[in-house]
Amino acid sequence: MISRLLMLALVGVGVAGCDVNAVPRQDEAVKAAWSEVLNQYQRRADLVPNLVETVKGYAKQEQTVLTEVTEARAKATQTQMTLPPDVLSNPQAFKAFEQNQAALSGALGRLLAITEAYPDLKSNQNFLALQSQLEGTENRISVARRDYIAAVQAYNTTLRTIPSKWIAAWLYPDAKVKETFTISDAAQQVPQVKF
């Protein structure tokens, strides 16, 4: 009887020392970080129409780029609204979301690049304010993605290391490894600077 109580006490201490609540706590941290990523992408999507309208007045002949930006924003926003509930553990859905956001980033980059041809636009206060807000938003997106990646790393490590792996399998059998952001092949290429 005493040996059973002693064994039960040891198991209780062992389980308490293993932090049985790590999985749900870290899962919530991942969800919160993901919400912030979506929040920052939405902020960018909200700024894009104002930026496009400001540029439109100066760059009528750049209609192709303006259309590209508008379409990329629509696709990114639509994808954001129709994300499946399992997007964080669904590699295909996560990849599609990531690709749509990357397409919007690329289109915005091209839009900002064409402004070099329009000196009046570059000095327009509305454009400068929007460009500054967009730059700040891109920085916020980077920070939100970094925080999300850190939260996913902690969560995935908990799910893949012993003894938390055993606890998760026993107490949280539906817990799945979460997806994280990747970098495209094009972004991995070393930029070439030519003068």
pLDDT of 121-176, one tens digit each?
Answer: 766 777 788 888 889 999 999 999 999 999 999 999 999 999 899 999 999 999 99
**Beta-sheet strands, E only, within 4-129:** none
CA angle 164, 169, 171 (to 5 degrees): 90
pLDDT confidence of residue 25: 95
Q: Which residue has the tokens 């960018």?
A: 44
pLDDT confidence of residue 18: 63
d(CA 54, CA 68): 16
pLDDT confidence of residue 195: 45
pLDDT confidence of residue 144: 96
Q: Which residue has the tokens 């926003």?
A: 77
**What angle separates helix 22-56 from helix 91-114, to the nearest 10 degrees?**
30
pLDDT confidence of residue 116: 74
Secondary structure, 3-state, 66-83: HHHHHHHHHHHHHHHHCC
pLDDT confidence of residue 173: 95
d(CA 191, CA 187): 9
pLDDT confidence of residue 11: 65
Q: Which amino acid is at 179?
A: E
- Dihedral of the alpha carbons of 22, 28, 30, 34, in degrees to the nearest 10: 180
- Which residues in the chain land under pLDDT 50? 195
